[in-house]
Every structure is written in C-alpha cells, then in structure tokens.
Amino acid sequence: MLELRRISKIYNPGTVTELCLFDNFSFKVADGEFVSVVGSNGSGKTSMLNIICGSIPVSGGEVLIDGKNINSLREYKRYRMIGRVYQNPAAGTCPDMTILENMSLADNKGKRYGLSFGVNNSRKNYYKEQLSSLGLGLEDKLDVKLGALSGGQRQAVSLLMATLTPIDFLILDEHTAALDPRTAEIIMELTNKIVKEKKLTAIMVTHNLRYAVEYGTRLVMMDKGNIILDKSGKEKQDVKVEDILDIFNKISIECGN
C-alpha cells in the first residue's frame, strides 16, 4: 500500500517563478493495482513519481508505504523496494557495459557489491532465458555493449533489469514515449506480462491514451496538481479513448489553448 497524504509541493519558493503544483494532494495505491496516469504537460504526473521515489523533496505532507512515513528515507534507499523505468532508454542501463554485465549488476540488487566476480557464470542461462522472453534476439548478444543497441532494445533491457529482483513497486515514467509505435507496442505488452506474472503494484505515466485505457486496473487523470478522474474495476473497463479525449479537450479549452 502506497499513500501520498496531503502533499504540497512548491517549486522555487520565495521567488518570482514560484509555482505551487500540489496543494493538499492525496493519492492511494492498493497492493496489486496497475494504475495508468494520464494528464497534460505540467499536470504533475512526473512530479508525483519523483515525490514517491524521493528524487525531489516535498514542501509538506507525508509519503507512506504500508502506513509507515518514508519522508526522510533517502532516494537510493527507497529504490530497494522500487523499480523504475524512465522515458529515456539510456537512463536505466550502463552504455559502456555489456548486456551480461548490466544484467549481473541488476541481478545483484539488494545484495552486497563486494570483491567477488561481477559475472556469475552459473546465472548466464537464466539471463539468456529472460532475454529470449523479450523476443528481440538479445540472448545471443550477451557480450554486446548496451550503447550499441537501439532505443527499443535498451528500453526492453531496462525493463527487465528493473524487475529482475523482487520489488514492491514498479514505476513507469512515460517509458514508451521515446520509442517508435511498433517497439512501443512490444514494450507495453512486455510490461503488462511482467506486471501480471510478478504480481507487481505498478504506476504508469503515459501520454498514450490507448495504453492507459487498454492496460492496467485503474485509470487516473491529473490536471494542475489535482486528480480529476479516477476509475477502477468495472468502471475502468467501460472507459473509452474518446471519453478521455473529450475531457482532455475540455481542459485545454478552459486553459485557452
């Protein structure tokens, strides 16, 4: 159970560019939920993810995991229970290291990074198995550097790496936005499969309304730091892309766009 309780977030406080994004913002995600979050630029989607992960501090309110306040928990410690995939395919992997080395790094999450050999050869087959599930032929490229792969391939490896070890939450930050439509489709299918197989609690921010409607168990729409639509279960299944698009247009008209 993840909860944001009465969060406020003010950017550049005390300056002319002061911007109050969240004021008394509350949000709850139950275990096992797969939440898709949509909203226009600047609506606070990515800020919300950053607040959950501790990448940016809050101005007020509490971030709770299973009822425990984690406000003072530093970012890197929060990632021990969170896996995150970024919009930029380069963010989740090491470009100068090979696929095998990257997988080994991710596989060791939660354990000691000591002076034993980085690559455990007995795990090689397991990595190959995992990589072949992507269907991209990466299992034969274990010794290729990540930097030499395409954006889609890198994102697929990032996703795999983020979910290789047991985690409680999966955070997907527009992870298909930088990919071509076909690759985005593959990555999205893969995400859905992994979330279901590993029974993860996931929050996915996306600009693709179809993905938001098709995937996930709950749909949330944000605008100016508020949740303006929140549907789950049966209600969520009945939502159509057109409905969401309508709301989007209304908001835009209010803004004068």
Partner 1 sequence: MLFFATTIDGLQMGLCFAVLALGVYISYSILDFPDLSVDGTFPLGGVVCTILMLKLGIPALPAILLSFFAGLAAGAVTGVLHVKFSISKLLSGIIVMTALLSVTLALTKLLTRTGLTTTIFSFRSENLEGLFSGSASRLLGDANRDYMILIIELIFVIAVKLIIDLFLKTKLGYMVRATGNNEMLVVSLGRDSGTYKILGIALANGFVAMSGALYSNLYSQYDNSSGSGKVVMALASVIIGIAVFSKIKFMGNTTAVILGAVIYSLCLNYLVLVDTNGIYLKLLNAVLFAIILIFNEKTSGFITGRQKAKRGQAKC
Binding site for partner 1 (CB under 8 A): 74-77, 79-80, 83-84, 86, 90-97, 101, 104-106, 108-110, 112-119, 162
- C-alpha distances out from residue 98 to 104, 135, 138, 140, 173, Å: 10, 19, 11, 12, 24
CB of 52 to partner 1, least distance (A): 14
Q: Which is nearer to partner 1, 165 or 232 (CB)?
A: 165
CB of 147 to partner 1, least distance (A): 9
Crossing angle between the packed helical segments 181-197 and 151-162, to the nearest 10 degrees: 10
Crossing angle between the packed helical segments 124-132 and 151-162, to the nearest 10 degrees: 120
Q: Sort residue 174 into left (φ over 0), alpha (ψ -120 to 50) or beta.
A: left
Q: Which is nearer to partner 1, 66 or 96 (CB)?
A: 96
Q: Which is nearer to partner 1, 84 or 175 (CB)?
A: 84
Distance CA 87, CA 100 (A): 23
CB of 115 to partner 1, least distance (A): 5
CB of 162 to partner 1, least distance (A): 7
Q: Which is nearer to partner 1, 80 or 250 (CB)?
A: 80
